[in-house]
Amino acid sequence: MRIALTLVFILAVAGAAGAGPLDAPGATKALNCAACHGPSGQSPSDAMPILAGLWPEYFKKAIQDYAAGRRPSPEMEPYAKQVLELGVDDVAAYFASQQRASTKVKVDAAAVERGRAAAQQCAVCHGSEGKGDRAKLIPDITGQPPGYLRTQMLLFKEDRRSPGDERLKALKALMKTIPDETFADLAAYFSSVR
C-alpha cells in the first residue's frame, strides 16, 4: 500500500513538473524500479540485473511470469503486478530505449578464461558470443552483473526459476551437468563480453 501511494505521489509531482525527461509514458511508471535496478535500469549492483536495453518481448514475459508466480521472486512479484496495472508495454518500451552499458563489477581474468572454455555449451541457444536470439526469447546475457548471472544459473539447476516450465527443460538439464563452481566462471566470462 505504501508503495502504491508513493507512486501516485511521484506521478502527481512528475505530472505537475510539465515537459521534461520524464515525458515518455514509461519513464514515470519506471521510477520505482531505480531503487534496485539503478537509474535508467543501469544497475550498479552485482545482484540486480541491468534492465536498460532489454528486448520488450523478453521484458514483458519476465514481468508476466513474476506477477503470476511462475518465476517466483518475493522481491519482484509486487512490482511486476504494479507494472501490469500501469501498462507493461510503456514500461518495456522505456527500458528497451535506454542505452545499455555493461556492468562495472570487476571479475578475475583467470575465471574469465575458464568460463570462455565452458561457454561453448551455451552457444547453441545464446549464440557464439552470448548475444541471445530475440525471436526465441533467449536473452543477451553479456555485460550483466556476474552475481546475477550466477544466481540465475543456480536457480535453473535447482528448478527454482520457472519450475516445471517445459520450454526450459533442455537448459535445466544442461545446468544439472555443470558443477556449481563453474557457474562463477561462466558468469565472469559472460559479464565481461562486450
Residues that bind ligand HEC (CB under 6 A): 30, 32-33, 35-37, 48-49, 51, 59, 61-63, 71, 73, 75-76, 79, 82-83, 91, 121-122, 124-126, 137-139, 141, 149, 152-153, 162, 168, 170-171, 174, 178, 186
Q: Which is nearer to ligand HEC, 10 or 36 (CB)?
A: 36
Instruction: Compute the least distance from the CB of residue 20 to ligand HEC, in Å.
Output: 20
What are the grid coordinates assigned to 106, written together? 570487476
Q: Which is nearer to ligand HEC, 19 or 183 (CB)?
A: 183
The residue assigned the cell 563489477 is: 105
Distance of alpha carbon 174 from alpha carbon 186, whole angstroms: 13
Instruction: Compute the least distance from the CB of residue 12 to ligand HEC, in Å.
Output: 17
Q: Which residues are within 8 A (CB) of 163 and not within 5 positions of it... i.e. 6 or more apart?
A: 72
- Closest to 45 (Cα-Cα) out of 54, 35, 59: 35
Instruction: Compute the least distance from the CB of residue 49 to ligand HEC, in Å.
Output: 4
The residue assigned the cell 555493461 is: 102
Q: Which is nearer to ligand HEC, 19 or 81 (CB)?
A: 81
Q: Which is nearer to ligand HEC, 22 or 171 (CB)?
A: 171
Instruction: Compute the least distance from the CB of residue 149 to ligand HEC, in Å.
Output: 4
Distance of alpha carbon 63 from alpha carbon 77, whole angstroms: 8
Q: Which residues are within 8 A (CB) of 33 and not within 5 positions of it... i.e. 6 or more apart?
A: 41, 51, 79
- Closest to 7 (Cα-Cα) out of 91, 66, 65: 91
Instruction: Compute the least distance from the CB of residue 183 to ligand HEC, in Å.
Output: 8
Distance of alpha carbon 104 from alpha carbon 49, whole angstroms: 12
Q: Which is nearer to ligand HEC, 19 or 124 (CB)?
A: 124
